[in-house]
Amino acid sequence: MYDDHDRLTTPFHSHATAAEVIHGVDLTGRRAIVTGGASGIGVETVRALAAAGAEVTIATRAPASAAGLVHELTAAHGSGSVHAAPLDLADLLSVDAFARTWRGPLDILVANAGIMALPERTVSAQGWELQLATNHLGHFALATALHGSLRAAGSARVVIVSSGAHLTAGFDFDDPQFERRPYDRWTAYGQSKTADVLLAVGARRWAADGITANALNPGWISTNLQRYLDDDTMRALGAIDEKGDIIPQPYYKEPAQGASTSVLLAASPLVSGVTGRYFEDNEEARLVRGPEERPGGVATHALDPEAADRLWDHATAVVGAALR
């Protein structure tokens, strides 16, 4: 676990854009996958990587939804090639099918797709609570299935989009699927985002293969991630007023700003060789040990290497059983 005195900082401020943090970086010849790259901060992540010359695959449940972005970037002078491919992270068979079609090395994997605050407990085909299945297990299965391609790149990066919500919930190994405890949509979301950070910590085992993995909090951005939140919930969060209009806050970000930390971790030489860490606002987050030290920061429970290894083994068993 890192020490606050050794936190990695960069010249970029909290509201820098993805284009700013990647300025001057040449990704020509590099290949990237961005899950959920057809909407929200995923779109801006794809734009920035492609503008730097990378060949980008948008992995999405509905490839047709990416058609406009593909057309835009294909027509852009100097951009790398962009195309879309089907991937449903909640279905391990879909993840396996996607990985089987991949050929050659993979330089960048951005685990960006996610769902938030489902009002009722829903489970995937493999019996996992759907937020945990989508946000964590699907990305774990994808990363491990593509491990050979990441290793073949020689110096690959895995970027995992987590959330500040991880501060609210550790990973409950006794009842991760809410089979016995009452389902709470925010606890379930927070747990899934802790699992995302633990994935980055667990991937330290790949360092000898030239693969780094880091997690991040993109900040508060208004996207379709909030689609399960009704107006009363959004008002309670202070996000909208009585008329339903967004209440501007200084910490709000536009999608291009929200994508910046993802792009920093995916491509910047400033974080070369860094692995198993958690970033926000374009720098490594400070360690927090209790609610009084919030907002922001990273919780100790999300950086626990023993929990990371335990979750890795558990997820490996689930994926293996599903694909037998």
- Give tens-digit pLDDT for 51-72: 999 999 999 999 999 999 999 9
Task: Give the CATH number, domain containing residue 264.
Answer: 3.40.50.720
Within-domain flag for 140? yes
Q: DSSP string covering 160-182, please?
A: EE--GGGGG----SSSTT-SSSP
pLDDT of residue 248: 63
Within-domain flag for 186? yes
> Is 195 within 8 Å of 89 (Cβ atoms)?
no
Within-domain flag for 1? no
pLDDT of residue 294: 61
Query: Which domain covers residue 23, as residue numbers?
Result: 18-225+254-323
Give catalytic residue positions.
189
Within-domain flag for 178? yes
pLDDT of residue 220: 84
pLDDT exceeds 50 at position 287: yes
Mean pLDDT of 162-167: 96
Within-domain flag for 248? no
pLDDT of residue 228: 46
Within-domain flag for 244? no
pLDDT of residue 117: 86
Which phi-psi region, left, alpha or beta, contains residue 29 (left: φ > 0; alpha: ψ -120 to 50)? left
- pTM of this prediction? 0.92
CA distance 121 to 131: 9
Q: Place 236 in a pLDDT band, splitting at 50, 70 and 90.
A: low
Mean pLDDT of 213-236: 68
Within-domain flag for 175? yes
Q: Which of 71, 89, 78, 11 is nearest to 49 (CA)?
A: 78
pLDDT exceeds 50 at position 176: yes
Burial 30-60 (b: 16+ CB within 10 A, else e): bbbbbbbbbbbbbbbbbbbbbbbbbbbbbbb
Q: How would you write 238-302 as a 3-class SS string?
A: CCECCCCCECCCCCEECHHHHCHHHHHHHHCHHHCCCCCCEEECCEECCEECCHHHCCCCEEHHH
What one-letter code names the amino acid at 323?
Answer: L
Within-domain flag for 8? no
Q: Place 237 in a pLDDT band, splitting at 50, 70 and 90.
A: low
- Number of domain units in the chain: 1
pLDDT exceeds 90 at position 222: no
